[in-house]
Amino acid sequence: MATNATAASWARHVSAALWFTRSIPCRRSNTCAIFCDVKQVLQVRLLPTPEQASALLATLHTCNTAANWVSERANAQQIFGKFRMQKAYYRELRSEFGLAAQPAILVIRKVAAAYARDRTRRHRWRRDSAQAYDVRCLSLRFVASGASSSATASIWTVRGRLTGIRVLGEQARGDQLRGITFGESDLIHRRGVWLLALTREVEAVTCRPPADFLGVDMGVVNIATTSDGVRYSGSRLNRYRRRQVRLRQRLQTKGTRSARRLLKRRNRKERRFATDVNHVISKSIVAEAERTGRGIAVEQLAGIRERVRLRKPQRAALHQWAFHQLGRFLGYKAAGAGVVLVEVDPAFTSQTCRTCRYVSSRNRRSQAVFMCGGCGFVGHADHNAAGNIADRGIARWGEVMRPHAAPTLAAS
């Protein structure tokens, strides 16, 4: 009993410090392992025939109309929660819209999830919004052809089950999808293109306790700086975004329909560009930590937009900064590689001298220059901050691994 209580206490402390992990202690020493579970989304493109595309589109229209129907009644009657909605609307939903059993459950689940996030307003969906599927409504079939392979999808629609829908993409030609059990997936229709976002559970990876930590300081001028002194400059991304701002201003001034269409395309292109940059940076950081056997320490950045007071030009740069996305990329890549990632308190990391621990706002002489008023240490400000984050990562990990006494059991 005491051993189980100790394990539960240890797991609570671990879950407070680690991202994207499920912790299972092997014993009460520093040799225990952490098993990291990760959900990965693989996006593939579908090539349906015109008849198949018509059935898929009709399915999206029906499911989203049904979701709006449930949402209207749930909001009016204040019935929230998946099970309460299911009890109140399931039978009528099936008879009203002709949905099969599982698609009706998935529609209710979508509405319940929306109201779990926000109950202050009525939620609505476009007719072509994405629709969730699970293994009972969607499956993939692989056909080997020599050295390569192809894949087809079988999908439930309101016009019956469609089979033989071609799947396009590198994932379909390789072994990435073969032999994998998928969870809930989304059917997406975007500008005439059909996509499947397939969610799968990545096999548990054993994360060994690190001997040291690689600190990562995130910023606008330098997107990321590590405690090793490696800086990932944001100058190229910031130049690109400034150019996009000028283009947006010109398009917004025109205000024509074609200008609005172009504006949407430019916004999507800018997001893809920033996403690619974050993927490259996070992959490089995780690879270095894995190579050197270290964990990764990052600062807790939740609420930074509310905490930081900046001038107007700096505020614009801060709100364009996809730091949360970079943090998520670091999290799932680290978990997939078996690298421990911890969050630390970011307070005063940019004002603290890593050498003597002297804290002063005057230590930060400029964006790039750090000069300690206590010991005279001079260095790059972001590198110094990353070093402080690494040190706090070591301390945070020590708190996680410290043995905790089992609670005493009351005598029966």
pLDDT tens string 239-248? 877 788 888 8
Report whether 233 contacts 281 (CB < 8 A): no
Report whether 354 contacts 391 (CB < 8 A): yes
In this predicted structure, the answer to whether residue 173 has a pLDDT above a threshold of 70 is: no
Which of 137-146, 257-266, 370-379, 399-408: highest mean pLDDT? Answer: 370-379
User: Are 186 and 256 within one domain?
Assistant: no
Residue 87 has a pLDDT of: 94
CA 412, CA 409: separation in Å to the nearest integer? 9
Residue 65 has a pLDDT of: 97
Stretch 223-235: mean pLDDT, rounded? Answer: 89
Stretch 396-404: mean pLDDT, rounded? Answer: 74
The backbone region for 296, taken as left when phi is positive above 0, alpha when psi lies in -120 to 50, beta otherwise, is beta
User: Are 186 and 216 within one domain?
Assistant: no
Tens-digit pLDDT profile for residues 195-204? 999 887 766 5
Residue 412 has a pLDDT of: 46
In this predicted structure, the answer to whether residue 24 has a pLDDT above a threshold of 50 is: no
Higher pLDDT, 221 or 357: 357
What residue ranges in 96-147 does DSSP mark as E strands?
131-133, 138-145
Task: Look at the block and give the residue holding tokens 């402390």.
Answer: 13
125 domain-assigned:
yes
Residue 36 has a pLDDT of: 55
- Encoded tokens for 124: 């609505």
User: Are 237 and 335 within one domain?
Assistant: yes
User: Are 255 and 119 within one domain?
Assistant: no
Stretch 359-384: mean pLDDT, rounded? Answer: 91
CA 11, CA 302: separation in Å to the nearest integer? 23
Helix (H) or strand (E) holding 75: helix 50-77
411 domain-assigned:
no
79 domain-assigned:
yes
Report residue 352: phi and psi, to 5°: -100, 130
Tell which of 164, 190, 207 closes a domain. Answer: 207
Among 54-68, 87-101, 160-174, the range scoring the smallest mean pLDDT is 160-174
409 domain-assigned:
no
User: Are 329 and 397 within one domain?
Assistant: yes
410 domain-assigned:
no
Which of 46-55, 201-210, 232-241, 305-314: highest mean pLDDT? Answer: 46-55
User: Are 254 and 243 within one domain?
Assistant: yes
- pTM surpassing 0.75? no
In this predicted structure, the answer to whether residue 368 has a pLDDT above a threshold of 80 is: yes
Number of domains making up the chain? 2
* CA distances in angstroms from 105 to 27, 110, 198, 208, 342, listed in the order given: 42, 9, 19, 40, 37
Tell which of 207, 227, 248 closes a domain. Answer: 207
Tens-digit pLDDT profile for residues 72-83? 999 999 999 999
User: Are 203 and 216 within one domain?
Assistant: no
User: Are 314 and 368 within one domain?
Assistant: yes
Task: Look at the block and give the residue holding tokens 């449930």.
Answer: 70
Tens-digit pLDDT profile for residues 97-142? 999 999 999 999 999 999 999 999 999 999 999 999 998 999 888 7
Domain assignment of residue 300, given as a range = 2-33+209-401
- Encoded tokens for 47: 């090539």
In this predicted structure, the answer to whether residue 23 has a pLDDT above a threshold of 70 is: no
User: Are 380 and 265 within one domain?
Assistant: yes
Higher pLDDT, 218 or 5: 218
In this predicted structure, the answer to whether residue 207 has a pLDDT above a threshold of 80 is: no
Based on DSSP, count helices (H) and strands (E) in the chain, helices before strands: 11, 14
In this predicted structure, the answer to whether residue 56 has a pLDDT above a threshold of 50 is: yes
Higher pLDDT, 194 or 347: 194
CA 388 from centroid of its chain's CA atoms: 26
User: Are 181 and 214 within one domain?
Assistant: no
134 domain-assigned:
yes
Residue 204 has a pLDDT of: 59
In this predicted structure, the answer to whether residue 12 has a pLDDT above a threshold of 80 is: no
Distance between start and end Cα atoms, the chain: 14
408 domain-assigned:
no
Mean pLDDT of the chain: 81
Stretch 40-58: mean pLDDT, rounded? Answer: 91
Report whether 74 contacts 141 (CB < 8 A): no
Name the burial class of residue 38, with classes exposed (0-12), middle (13-18) and buried (19+) by CB atoms within 10 angstroms of its CB: buried
Tell which of 207, 236, 268 closes a domain. Answer: 207
Among 24-38, 190-204, 386-400, the range scoring the smallest mean pLDDT is 24-38
In this predicted structure, the answer to whether residue 53 has a pLDDT above a threshold of 80 is: yes
Tens-digit pLDDT profile for residues 265-321? 887 888 888 889 899 999 999 999 999 999 999 988 766 555 555 555 555 555 556
Higher pLDDT, 279 or 11: 279
Stretch 159-173: mean pLDDT, rounded? Answer: 78
User: Are 238 and 375 within one domain?
Assistant: yes
Higher pLDDT, 293 or 251: 293
78 domain-assigned:
yes
